[in-house]
Amino acid sequence: MFFYIFKKKIIMREIVFLFCTLLIAGCNKYPEGPAFSLRSKQNRLKGHWYVTDAVAENKPVNTSIAAQTKNITKQYADTYTRWQFIEEDGELFQRVYQGTGSSFFQTNVCFFSEDSQYVIVENSWNSVNDSLEILRLTNKELWVKSVRRENVFLDSGQTVLCDVTETVKWKNF
């Protein structure tokens, strides 16, 4: 009888351990992690973010021209020196700083999509919302991807309508 009860307790512990492991493994919201965080997504997003890497891929629409990928880290860092995400009265705002002097440029309202996979930024200067797909969100790293359609001047000298995918990595200091 003692061994039966002891064996039953061990099986119950194994079931609880397995359930907890599966629950934690299912917490991974973003493709590049983290797998688990004690901080809320909003608290991880707040801070001063600086560009560490930026890549653009231009895929021409309705043409046989090959896609072009180029590193735009310097161009991106020169244009958007840093982002700052702050919370005021329960609302999340993005402040964009521009240029070498880090002069303040604009403030945008932003929020998470319902599934928390995107940060939606309501641009104050052109009334166009940017959807930034979150690839990684820790308190020190933010990786986002955005896709838009625009005319692009390619290396071949042609201006072509392209689907532009930008993947940008930011570091919080």
Rg, Å, the chain Cα set: 22
pLDDT, tens digit (0-9, with 9 covering 90-100), for 14-24: 766 655 444 44
User: Looking at the predicted structure, is the pLDDT value of residue 148 above 80?
Assistant: yes
Cα–Cα distance, 104 to 81 (Å, whole number): 10
Distance CA 70, CA 54 (A): 9
Number of H helices, E strands in the chain: 3, 9
Q: What is the per-residue pLDDT for 173?
A: 80
> What pLDDT is attached to residue 165?
93
Average of per-residue pLDDT values in the chain: 81
Angle at 70 between CA 53 and CA 108, to 5 degrees: 50
What is the rounded distance in angstroms from the CA atom of residue 95 to the CA atom of residue 109?
9
6's CB contacts (< 8 A; 6+ apart) are none
Average pLDDT over residues 22-40: 72
Amino acid (1-letter code) at residue 158: Q
pLDDT above 80: residue 122: yes
| Superfamily of segment(s) 41-172 | Domain of unknown function DUF4822 (2.40.128.540)
At 16, the amino acid letter reads V
Query: What residue spans define the domains of the chain?
Result: 41-172
- The residue that leads in pLDDT, 89 or 6, is 89
pLDDT digits (tens, 9 = 90+) for 63-116: 888 888 888 888 777 777 678 888 888 888 888 877 655 566 778 889 999 999
pLDDT class of 150 with cuts at 50, 70, 90: confident
Average pLDDT over residues 141-157: 89
**Which of 4-8, 102-106, 151-155 has the lowest average pLDDT?**
4-8
